[in-house]
Amino acid sequence: MSEPAMTRVAVCQTEPVLLDLAANVRHTTETVRGCVARGADVIVLPELATSGYLFDGADEVRSMALPLTHSVFDGWRAALGEGDAVLVAGFPEAGASGKVYNSAVVLDRAGIRAVYRKTHLWHREKRFFTPGDHPPPVVETVHGRIGVLVCYDLEFPEMPRSLALAGADLIAAPTNWSRAEIRSGTEPPQVLVARAAARANHVFLAACDRRGTERAQPFTGGSIIIDPDGWPLATPAADHIAIADLPLPAARDRALSPVNHVFTDRRPHLYALNTPS
């Protein structure tokens, strides 16, 4: 039996400049181009990579919101070159009727393949963003099936499970993980959640966090690429990029033992909410 093809995944832990679209577009475009030069097939940027995160009011959010016709997407597409590289990146999306969404785009050289609007909004996000009301996509690419979530979505087990059930080989998750308490000898809680999601659903998972401090809020810088058993494969190097070569089709074998399977062992009829007796 031949070995499965390897897909090089690059997770780019950038430091967006709050409210500076030009600087963020310039940096992310250069980063994408550099990752392609290093052979990356799938590139993931953080949540709200074009804008920064800690908005101080609705006017700031609207000033950074981008329609899907914005030139940034053409610039990213051009940076992907003429190969088959795929980009997943977070941005504030200008929707209809003045609504703004915390979104992630999936694009390749042909253009935008999918846009996902974050379903579960965290803390201050509820002041500025409208939650998405469509399920997260699974995009069929030449490298494999890529599902998309954004940050807090990972905290809801139904979300990665729904992507795995839909056939995802890899979950790409742009994030902005605010720094939380890390007890001695442990990982950030958000990383533990991501590892558990990968293991519970037997999928590869690439979580792309951001780094730095914004309006006195430090970020975790917890970017990580995880295998279907929940083990870390790569974290950012000195250049703030994590790279791993993944046999994505291997995730489709979801047998855990000769008699156990991630999906066929499920008993959904017992999972309904029950009233305490």
- 62: Cα separation from own chain's centroid: 23
Lookup: tokens for 80: 């992907």
Reply yes or no on whether 47 is catalytic.
yes
Reply yes or no on whether 60 is catalytic.
no
Lookup: tokens for 117: 């609007």
Query: Which of helix, strand or coil describes residue 179?
Result: coil
Select which of 12, 35, 151, 208 is catalytic.
151
Residue whose tokens read 């996902």:
116
Burial class (CB in 10 A: 0-12, 13-18, 19+), 22: exposed
Q: Return the DSSP state at 56.
A: S
Query: Which residues pair with residue 111 across a beta bridge?
Result: 108
Select which of 47, 93, 125, 214 is catalytic.
47
Lookup: tokens for 159: 């979300």
Residues in the chain: 277
Closest alpha carbon to 243 in 6, 1, 4, 3? 6
Select which of 12, 35, 93, 118 is catalytic.
118
Reply yes or no on whether 118 is catalytic.
yes
Instruction: Round to whole Å and give the CA distance between 84 and 74.
Output: 15
Residues assigned a catalytic role = 47, 118, 151
